[in-house]
Structure 1
Amino acid sequence: MRRGRYGRWGRAAAVLALTAAAVGAGEPPRPARCAGSVPYTAGTGGYAVYRIPAVVRTPAGTLLAFAEGRVHGAGDAGAVDLVLRRSSDGGCSWGPLSVVAAGHGDTRGNPAPVVDPASGDVVLLSSGNAGTATERAVLQGRVDAAHGRRVYVQRSTDDGRGFSAPRDITASVKRADWRWYATGPGHALALTHGRYAGRLVVPANHSAAPAPGSTDTGREPRHYGAHALLSDDGGRSWRIGYVDASYDGQVNSNESTVAELPDGGLYFGTRDQLGDAPGNRADSRSGDGGATLDRPYAPQPALASVPVVQGSALYVSGPGSGRPGLLLFSAPSVPGRRAAEALWTSTDGGRTLTRALTLSPRPAAYSDLVRVDAETVGVLYETGVRGPYESIAFRRVPLDRLSPARPAGVRPG
């Protein structure tokens, strides 16, 4: 492993973690005073790089921070394990690293965790392939089904302390003509109200093989598409929901995210993987719990500054009395460069978004959002000093910093 390359980064991240926690020497972490922490640092714990964060909060209030532990370097292919750290103090400190799904030299990742509201169990979807299979080789159809992308589900009944062995559900959720496949990455969604309450919705993406007789080679990005996975029995069985299968090169929907709106509708956002449409982000909505989209994905002009990168969406009710709920979106905010992690807010279900806060001007890439408590959200995101893959940091953000001003005459609850 190239541990020496990351030595200085590790020391820098450790300093950042202590600064973010804002605690004195020898004092235990205090959530009320904690601004953030760094659960993953490159070159530590047996992994050269940690990437692809995902985070959920359990019914007990525990935060579960998932990531890919990449053994040899930052590349997507090769020996990659799916790893986890737990926090019982709102993300100020983290327990020891555990391996949730070991690759044993193959690739395991793209975590998409969700809490089943009926049982309180943590349901984790992920995907993987043989360590020798690259994304380009899969896209071009040069990898057989046994070594190509597979989809797995696991379950924890003990607040994330342990998970069942990965169960292969590929046959239920991957069409025969799909080549590339990825769950999430980032948290999935459990619907909380309306006709589809209790349904688990996992955003995912795929690539399709060219039509028979076509001269198109199926190479990226034209054949990328997004879709959703649905479960109405707590994650025990799965089926495919909506499928974006336009493949027209305008919006090449790729890594996607989902949030539930107050009216029971779903907001879907997607990375546009080098499509011809303006910008790099697009969105849509679903009125039937993710089974179909109300309209095709269309560019979101308010996110024109976001580079080609994954992002995260989360709907949160307002803190205290008189505060409106917000749809939040997180991503880097520098056009053409993965840097300056920022948060956008929307009070109209994502039709318009306003950039509300920049967390740091430093390099940044993938992220995931979580509700920490009634007054706080958390952002788990890739960042560093020289590059975005030096660490995965956790930042606590008070909702008061994001919410519109309280209407005149409304007193705090």
Structure 2
Amino acid sequence: MAGLKIVVKSLFFVYLYYVALTDCMTVTPEIVLEQSLWISTKDAEISEYRTPIMIRAPNGDLLAFSGARKTSHGDASAKVIMMRRSEDGGNKWGPSIFVVDDYQNTDGLNMGNVIVDEQTGAIIIIYCFCIHNECDFKKFTPTNYKTVSYDNGYTWTPSVNLADKSPFFEGWNWAPGPGYGIQKKFEPNVGRLFSCGHWGNATYGLMTCVYSDDHGETWTQSEFLVYLPNNMPKKAGDFTPGEPQIVELSDGRLLINARNQHFFHSQNRLIFYSDDGGKTFPLSKMRVDTTLIEPGCFGSTLLYRDVMFFSNPFDARGRVNMTLHWSLNEGLDWAGGLNIYTKGSGYSCLSPIDDNHIGLLFEKDGCEEMYFVKIKFL
């Protein structure tokens, strides 16, 4: 009996030590580097750099992408997918390269998702083509394409129409992203790739993911989250989730942090969960994150080294005040916030850099610049 008491007492002190150690593992983000990666109208004569995406390549390089608009600021303008590379954790960046060019197509490509397949070493870009009302449907059919790099982004394959092997893409006005796609690391469905996005018009729309179990060769649709009310003009308070960022939680569940376009319930972000490998994201498991203010803009979510980060323009009035929030319990609540930039702030993307740093790429000052911030968090 005395021995049992000693064991119990020892376990109790181990527990107290663990709790104290966990409490000591505080996250204190601080900005250690800032620089502009692209300047609209000046770099490569691009009218506007938008839709930032940043990922860490399999070799550790940082790759920054932009859906650059050539001649106008509109969503349906001609575009090119631009990329820059950093080999030293974001301190220095190489020149811009064109990954995909739609030349002068009205309502051409829209930047979508970038996915790193860690099992094969491939980097996959999925983008949409001809999804807006300006599209000339007599010449083009809305669809989605992919281009792949097998050498850490140095070269890219010719674009392939995803409808060739997954016919549902043909004629589907679906916009993947923006932001990054993911590959599942935990059961169920280890290795499954995800690209998430939305489609909508004045009366109808939906949010959904597509997933692949064969490294991006073929794709399957997740169950649709249809806008409500359906087939009616939208107004404030309607359910219109979009521009989702998906992450995988430590228990294998999937979480989507989505734009709340018409401020369903409140002016806050919408959170969805899946525990069936991404086949469904049931409304019964949806919640509204009342901490994260939603001005109607894409926000980035990153789960890295047991810390969940979220970036967006944190202001109910509009797209200003780029802020980084962090959570130590996978987004159930938020431990703190760091202001990155108080003035004009738009879309953003978070990426790992190394064990102690993450990167943030965001649209600054009304898309005048695409701006990079390196943040030390441990």
State the TM-score, normalized to the length of structure 1: 0.76
Higher strand share: 2
Secondary structure in 2 matching 1:334: coil
Q: Which residue of 2 aligns with 1:80?
A: 79
| Alpha-carbon distance in 1 for matches of 2:34, 2:59 | 20
In structure 1, which of residues 368, 372, 376 is the aligned counterpart of residue 357 of structure 2? 376
Deviation sequence 1:178-234 (CA, Å, 0-9, x none): 5x3211001111111222111111111113xxxxxxxxxxx42x5232100101111
Q: Which residue of 2 aligns with 1:4?
A: none
Which 4+ stretches in 1 moved above 4 angstroms?
A: 173-178
Matched, 1:202 2:195: yes
Deviates more, 1:82-91 or 1:354-363: 354-363
Q: Which residue of 2 aligns with 1:395?
A: 373
**Percent of aligned pairs with the same residue?**
25
Letter in 2 for 1:392: M
Q: Which residue of 2 aligns with 1:291?
A: 279
Secondary structure in 1 matching 2:118: coil
> CA separation of 1:242/1:312 partners in 2, compared to 1, >3 Å: closer, same or farther?
farther
Q: Which runs of no fewer than 5 residues in structure 2 stay unpaired?
A: 1-30
Q: Which residue of 2 aligns with 1:188?
A: 181
| Alpha-carbon distance in 2 for matches of 1:186, 1:154 | 16
Question: Contact 1:256/1:269 (CA < 8 Å) preserved in 2?
Answer: yes
Deviation sequence 1:73-117 (CA, Å, 0-9, x none): 221112111111111111122111111111111222223111111
Report 1 or 2 for greater relative contact order, CA contacts < 8 Å, sequence distance ≥ 6: 2
> CA separation of 1:242/1:93 partners in 2, compared to 1, >3 Å: closer, same or farther?
farther
> CA separation of 1:279/1:254 partners in 2, compared to 1, >3 Å: closer, same or farther?
same
Q: Which runs of no fewer than 5 residues in structure 1 stay unpaired?
A: 1-32, 208-218, 318-324, 401-413
Matched, 1:274 2:262: yes
Q: Which residue of 2 aligns with 1:97?
A: 96
Q: Which residue of 2 aligns with 1:313?
A: 301
> CA separation of 1:338/1:174 partners in 2, compared to 1, >3 Å: closer, same or farther?
farther
1:102-113 counterparts in 2 under 5 A?
102-106=101-105, 107-113=108-114
Q: Which residue of 2 aligns with 1:30?
A: none
Larger Rg computed on CA atoms? 2
Aligned residues: 336
Letter in 1 for 2:291: A
| Alpha-carbon distance in 2 for matches of 1:346, 1:146 | 48
| Alpha-carbon distance in 2 for matches of 1:205, 1:290 | 15
| Alpha-carbon distance in 2 for matches of 1:236, 1:144 | 26
Question: Contact 2:227/2:241 (CA < 8 Å) preserved in 1?
Answer: no
Deviates more, 1:63-72 or 1:233-242: 233-242
> CA separation of 1:143/1:48 partners in 2, compared to 1, >3 Å: closer, same or farther?
closer
Q: Which residue of 1 aligns with 2:125?
A: 124
| Alpha-carbon distance in 1 for matches of 2:343, 2:322 | 8
Q: Which residue of 1 aligns with 2:15?
A: none
Deviation sequence 1:126-157 (CA, Å, 0-9, x none): 1121xxx7x3x27xxx8638535321111101
Secondary structure in 1 matching 2:185: coil
Secondary structure in 2 matching 1:127: strand
| Alpha-carbon distance in 1 for matches of 2:332, 2:139 | 42
Secondary structure in 2 matching 1:360: strand
Question: Contact 2:198/2:205 (CA < 8 Å) preserved in 1?
Answer: yes
Letter in 2 for 1:115: V
> CA separation of 1:244/1:90 partners in 2, compared to 1, >3 Å: closer, same or farther?
same
